[in-house]
Amino acid sequence: MESLEEIKARIETSVPGAKIEVVPNPGPANQPSLLLDHEHAVAVARFLRDDPVMRLDFCSNVTGVDWLDRTVKKKVKVKKLVEGEEKEVEETQEEFFPGYLEAVYHLFSMAHKHGPLVVRLRTRDRARFTPLPSLTPVWRSAEFQEREIYDLYGIRFEAHPDLRRILMWDEFEDFPMRKDYREPDDYEYEPTPHDEVLEKAKQHYPARPTVDGAEEVTA
């Protein structure tokens, strides 16, 4: 498969106006990715699927990522006057990065047997049901996985054919996979409380005696 820079260049030639950014990965996996802009994401996805060189016809998995607001400290060298003499000194500066959510797609070619190519879509903020374009119309295998991200992270995938909760029940509030999620103490809508959930439920619902004299929680 071509390098990311080569793929990026061919996308920008074939999809006019597309804004593509190579995102490095400093971790052990060393698996850099392509960040797509919202406006051209579906057109870029179709190019990657249909281009005879790429033929990325299989989306193996889609996952969500939550990035909180963060401040990064870095050391920089600046020139300053020290006792009347200009010197280069090292100082620490802080840079603020606002939080956002991501959907990350791993693409393979069954036809050419190459991949993965990792592409990302990034929200503008972490607001409730913040939108991203759905890539399910291009890769049908993304349907349930985008639903899972919608359910657990709160990203709304526009143009998804069936966007509804897939793991949590309809009355459930909030998004359990977000990093600032706090588990509720009252499981009013838990259909079948058990184990730790049952113990918490006992604190909110009165117990009633059963036939054998034991107590039963009514939830």
- 11 and 33 co-located in one domain: yes
Residue 164 burial (10 A CB sphere; 0-12, 13-18, 19+): exposed
CATH code of residue 125: 3.30.460.80
pTM of the model: 0.80
| pLDDT for res 217 | 47
Residue 44 lies in a domain: yes
Question: Model confidence over 70-117: pLDDT tens digits?
Answer: 898 888 888 777 777 777 878 888 889 899 999 999 999 999 999 999
Q: Which residues pair with 71 in a beta bridge?
A: 96
| pLDDT for res 114 | 95
Residue 81 lies in a domain: no
Residue 89 lies in a domain: no
**CB-facing half-sphere around the CA of 139: CA atoms within 13 A:** 29
- 139 and 49 co-located in one domain: yes
Q: Which of 163, 153, 146 is nearest to 61 (CA)?
A: 146
* Full domain range(s) for residue 16: 4-67+100-172
Return the higher-pLDDT residue of 197 and 138.
138
- 151 and 208 co-located in one domain: no
Task: Check if the beta carbon of residue 160 is closer than 8 Å to that of residue 139.
Answer: no
| pLDDT for res 34 | 97
- 26 and 120 co-located in one domain: yes
- 165 and 207 co-located in one domain: no
> Using alpha carbons only, what angle is made at residue 189 by residues 186 and 191, rounded to the nearest 5 degrees?
120
pLDDT band per the 50, 70, 90 thresholds, residue 137:
very high
- 189 and 154 co-located in one domain: no
Q: Return phi, psi of residue 13, to 5°.
A: -75, -40
Residues 149-159: what's their mean pLDDT?
97
**Over pLDDT 70: what percentage of the chain?**
89
Question: Model confidence over 14-48: pLDDT tens digits?
Answer: 999 999 999 998 888 788 999 999 999 999 999 99
